[in-house]
Amino acid sequence: MTAAFGTALLGALRTLLPRACPGCGAQLGAHAGLCPACRAALRPHVQAHSPLRAQPEPHLVTLGTYSGVRRRAVRELKFAHARDLARILGEALATGVPADWNVQAVIPVPLHPGRQRQRGFNQAELLGRALASALAVPCVPALIRTHAGAQQARRHAAQREDLHGAFRAHEGFLPGGPVLLIDDVLTTGHTAQACQDALKQAGAPQVYVAVVAR
């Protein structure tokens, strides 16, 4: 089967099979991922305040709070293999990345290997590929998890030390300029902070962050 035929077949199936929009429950019809109304509700903006900066400075691009369409879309992204959704969210985020950040590469927050085997994919990587493609920069797997501490740290969110050293960055994958870290959600910020530390340690001069919601 050729790729073009596959795409046409997929398009035809989409119109035939009733599928609900994960954002609002309306029928998707021929639309992929999210209905037009939910897409229109995804507006990126830049934030200057987060646990990732000691001083306020624009560094974080997000589509908004972890609620409504964003919450439902992130859940769908985790629990179903929703590539269409990753593309829509990644592209929406890309439109909010300021040109003067001069981002040279997108770097997904890695899942714990056990979790990735279980799920079969990393949702941050799906988002990262879409975001990178829209920004016309590479998406590089520059970060690896070095131990399982992160799983535990999620249960004891107050213990930041558990995450310290949980990530390592491959210097060889870093572009030499500013990078954009991507994850689905920023909650305590401990994971992003540990990733940011690892990237800086490996020589990234500036680390910006993109998340669907926080």
Binding site for Zn ion (CB under 5 A): 21, 23-24, 35, 38
User: Min. distance of Cβ 22 from Zn ion in angstroms?
Assistant: 7
- Using CA atoms, how far apart are residues 184 and 160, in angstroms rounded to an integer? 20
60-62 vs 45-47, strand pairing mode: antiparallel
- Using CA atoms, how far apart are residues 157 and 149, in angstroms rounded to an integer? 11
Of 28 and 93, CB closest to Zn ion: 28
- Using CA atoms, how far apart are residues 188 and 85, in angstroms rounded to an integer? 24
- Using CA atoms, how far apart are residues 209 and 27, in angstroms rounded to an integer? 33
Of 35 and 106, CB closest to Zn ion: 35
Of 58 and 64, CB closest to Zn ion: 64
User: Min. distance of Cβ 27 from Zn ion in angstroms?
Assistant: 9
User: Min. distance of Cβ 85 from Zn ion in angstroms?
Assistant: 11
User: Min. distance of Cβ 205 from Zn ion in angstroms?
Assistant: 40
User: Min. distance of Cβ 126 from Zn ion in angstroms?
Assistant: 19
Cβ burial of 16 (10 Å; 0-12, 13-18, 19+) is exposed
- Using CA atoms, how far apart are residues 59 and 56, in angstroms rounded to an integer? 9
Of 23 and 149, CB closest to Zn ion: 23
- Give phi and psi for 41, each to the nearest 5: -80, -5
Contact present, 30 and 12 (Cβ < 8 Å): no
Of 24 and 32, CB closest to Zn ion: 24
